[in-house]
Structures are given as structure tokens and as C-alpha cells.
Amino acid sequence: MLKPRKLYYFQWKADDVLTQDIRTDIRRDKLDIILRILEVGNTPVKKTHILYKAGINFYQLSRYLDLLLKTGMMEEVDTPFVGYRTTEKGRVLMNLFNSSDLQASVTNSGGVSTQRSITNARQSLGPERIY
């Protein structure tokens, strides 16, 4: 007769899912993905590392990486390995949006709230579609 076993596997998987860094169940817009790629690229990283840490597929990575390279926010490096790194222009963009997210209720000198300008920037980029 078989001995009944305790099902620790399901408890472990549930804890693993709860401690994940990237929220895969939430739909992100283009700006969130771009900021995540720039954040990952603070140190030289390979394409696959960007792919996994940003939580995107290879098709999306190719599109966003081309965009960031053309705009000068990321650069390709050859040492110590072939990879990508965020430039100063990319760091400025990261700091701009990260600080404005924290101070969303503060209004600028024009009287327009920072939250409204963030929303307008995200709407101009359009929603992220995964095919």
C-alpha cells in the first residue's frame, strides 16, 4: 500500500510566486518597460539579462533596444563583453520620471500638476500590446 505524502511542493510554489520581483500579471505601458530596461542597464549587461530582468520577450526587447539605441539612451559596449549600458541621457530620463512619480501631487510653476504631465507622456507613447 502507498504511503500518503504531504504536498509541500504546492506550498513552496505559492511562496515562490509571491516573492517574485517582476509582476507579470499587471499590464505595463511603454514608459514602464523603457524605465525598467534603463534601470537594468546601469551596469553593462547582456541582452538575455535585460530580457529576464525586465520581464519582456525577445521581440519586445529588440524593438525597445533599437529605440533606446537610436535615441542615445543606451549604448553598445565591447568590454568586458558585448553588451549594453545606459548612457547619461538615459539616466537623466530615469531620474526625471522616478522623481516625478514620487512628487506627483506637487505642481510646477505653470500650475499644471506633475501627475497630469506623466499621464500625458504615457498616453503619447500609447499602450503596450503583446502579440
pLDDT at 79: 84
Q: Would you say the C-alpha torsion 115, 120, 54, 38 has a positive or negative sign?
A: negative
Regarding predicted confidence, which is higher, 115 or 36? 36
Q: How confident is the model at residue 1 (pLDDT cuts 50, 70, 90)?
A: low
Query: Strand (E) positions, the chain?
Result: 74-77, 83-86
pLDDT at 28: 85
Question: Domains in the chain, please, with CATH?
Answer: 26-124 (1.10.10.10)
Q: What gap in Å lies between CA 95 and CA 116, rounded to an integer?
A: 18
Q: What angle do the packed helices 30-40 and 47-54 form, to 10 degrees?
A: 130
**Per-residue pLDDT tens over the stretch 9-30:** 444 444 444 444 555 557 888 9
Judged by DSSP in three states, 41 sits in coil
| Bond preceding residue 80 cis, omega within 30 of 0 | yes
**Per-residue pLDDT tens over the stretch 71-124:** 999 999 998 899 999 999 999 999 998 875 555 444 444 544 555 666 666 665
